[in-house]
Structures are given as structure tokens and as C-alpha cells.
Structure 1
């Protein structure tokens, strides 16, 4: 099965002064480049979903597409990702600097056919439409902006938008969802680090400090 790695750039970034936060740097690299590098390792193609007029210049050589249904938040972004990719997708928000290729690869492996049985046992959903990691820090308990989505989700996402429900997990009752338990997520790193994202300047500074500390640790 083909899988497109999708970088989702969106949101008003109101707490970040409206600036394109994915273009900020952590440990000397733009966040968007860090996300793209992780996705390149485990997907067959890349797609940037962004509405900014200058978005096509952010990642030269990567196809850029805008929302099909603008103004509908992250769920509208997922809809665009599925509609524009035409394949299953690995979706990652563009402000997650520490997401790992290993975790993304595991999400895709489960979506494509099953996990490595040498790891913790996992009760598998038959033919999942969504593979989503659990997180201690998310108010939802899962991380929908770092997840694998089957092309089969497109209809359900569209119906949810039609109903005026903009929750990014609002369509889950219509599809088969496989959660990756947080104990499995920890095989790939600290969930608080893996799913950390940038909403404010203070958070960006904290992530820069964390990257510097990790660099000193590995010397």
C-alpha cells in the first residue's frame, strides 16, 4: 500500500503572533525540516498541506496543496490531506520537532498489516482505518496530529464536517480505530518529548533548551 507523509501546516498561531511557527528552528534546524526528514524515512511521498500564499517555497520539491474546505481547522486539514494525497497518509503537525521516524514507521506497519510481535502484545482491530498513539499529556488521551489514516476515512471525515463537528477525532465513531498504547509509545521515547509542539515563544525556548540538553547528554 502506498502511504503519503503529510505535513500539516495550519492554525491561526494566535499565541505565536500569527507567525509560521513551523519555520522556527530547534537545535539549528527548522521544525518543518525535522518533520519532513522523519516522514521521508517511512513514507513513499511527501505532501505539505498549507494555505499560506508562500507555502510552496517552504519545502522546495515537495508538493503543496491547500485545504479543499477552508476554515475548518485541523479536521479540514486532515480532509485535505486524504483528498489531495489519494493514498493512506501519515499525518504530522508541522510544529512537532521531536517526532521520530521509528514511531511513525510503527504506526504505518500496524496500518498496513500488523505490528512486530516481539514487542508488547497488542489487541489488533481488524483492518484499522486509523492508527493513533496514546499520550499522557493530551486532553484527548491520543495524538490525532501524529497518526496514520487510511484513505477509507475520507468519507467519514467529510460527513463529520458536514455535520458541523470540527473535532479532529469527531469521525472516529464511524471508523475502525487502533490505539497504540502509551506503554508501546514509550518504546520509541518519552511521549512528552515525542509529541511536544510549539504554541508560544516560551514553549519554543523550552524545546530549544531540551534539544541542547539532549545534545550535551549524547556529547
Structure 2
């Protein structure tokens, strides 16, 4: 049965927004966080959206000086070299709130109403993530501090897959049709991984500005 989305009330939630910035992307060939979009770094747009929803916002990045000018706290990985799972662990451990909303630095179409819904859906759960068939969207997801022991166990066992610790925590999977009530087309989950995707995104935004 389809569960209605929570009301998309405006306001800041008592959660920490965690933006993962992994540095140079192999497919992009450079640091996606500092690609210029509408005259500002891509990550600045992401931080703006997160600040609309989250009482605290921080960035996980290992090149601390490079990210120091963003106006938010920057924390490094506790377990370097284990990918996004390590970044989530670092953000959750550093957060001042029990619940985090975690996104990538390359997600410029975040929807504040949907972020708030993920916060509401987390009541009674340790993880909230969108699932499309067999694919689980592990960024643009919610995680509680209760996940830390299971995350650490997975990392120490050599796991890099984020979903590897899910069997050990309470997971609430969001169906696409639930999320689309607030974010038609699920644009919040769109990111950029290649130069071609980046140029397509920039062209789309230029066209929108032109129509405006």
C-alpha cells in the first residue's frame, strides 16, 4: 500500500546535513565539488539547499584546506580509502544530531520538501533510502547514529558496499511513487559523473534561466 508523503512543511529540522565531497572523480577528471554552476561552485548550491532543512551542515572531505572557505565544518574520513561508506561513517560520527541527511556534492537539484520527508520517515528507523527495483539510493538518504557500530564492523571486515550493514539495522525503503509526490521525476537524485553529463546539466540550467 502506498504511504502518503509527510506534509512538506517549511522549516529547519534537528538533523545534520552531511555533504560528501570525495575529491577528484576518475570519470570527471577533476573535483566535482568545485565545478562552476551559475557563477558558484557546485557544492555551494548543495550546501544552500541543505541549510534550508538542516540545523547543522558539514562536509566530509580529506583535503581540508581546499574546503575551508565554504563556511561550514569540514571533517576527514576516520577510515580513509573505503569510499562512500567511510564518508558516511565520518559524517555520522562528527554530527551533533542523532540523524543525518546525507547527499553528494554533485546533486544540484535537491528538493527541501523531500529532504524534510526523509527526516519524517526516519521516525522509528535507522536508515531511510529510496529503492528502485534492486537499486538502493544510498545518497540522498537518512542515517541514525545507531548505524555506527554496524558500519564499523562492515568496514573492518573489508566491505565497501554501503548496503552491507543494512541487515543489522532498521531500514525504511521509500518507493519511487512516494518520493515523486514531492519531487516529480525524482530530480533530487540526479548527479553528475562525466563531462558529458555536466555539460548537459549546464545547458539545461541555461535554458531554464532563458525561459525565466
TM-score range, shorter chain: 0.7 to 0.9
Moved over 4 A (4+): none
Q: How does 1:40-59 map to 2 (within 5 A)?
A: 40-59=51-70
Shift in Å, 1:29: 3.6
> Secondary structure at 2:141's aligned position in 1?
strand
Check conservation: 1:55, 1:64, Cα contact below 8 A: no
Aligned to 1:20: 31
Aligned to 2:195: 201
Paired with 2:147 and 2:52, the residues of 1 have a C-alpha distance of 24
1:8 aligns with 2:8: no
Check conservation: 2:180, 2:186, Cα contact below 8 A: no
C-alpha distance after superposition, 1:78-124 (max 9, x if no partner): 1101111143211110011111111111101111x3xxxxxxxxxxx
Check conservation: 1:3, 1:45, Cα contact below 8 A: yes
Give the count of matched residue pairs: 199
Q: Which runs of 5+ in 2 are unaligned?
A: 1-12
Pair 53,44 (structure 1): closer, same or farther in 2 beyond 3 Å: closer
Aligned to 2:128: 131
1:67 aligns with 2:77: yes
> Secondary structure at 1:161's aligned position in 2?
helix
Superposed CA RMSD in Å reads: 1.9
Q: Which runs of 5+ in 1 are unaligned?
A: 114-126
Give the alignment's TM-score, normalised by structure 2.
Answer: 0.86
Check conservation: 1:135, 1:191, Cα contact below 8 A: no
Paired with 1:191 and 1:176, the residues of 2 have a C-alpha distance of 27
Q: Relative to total residues, which structure has the larger strand share, 1 or 2?
A: 2
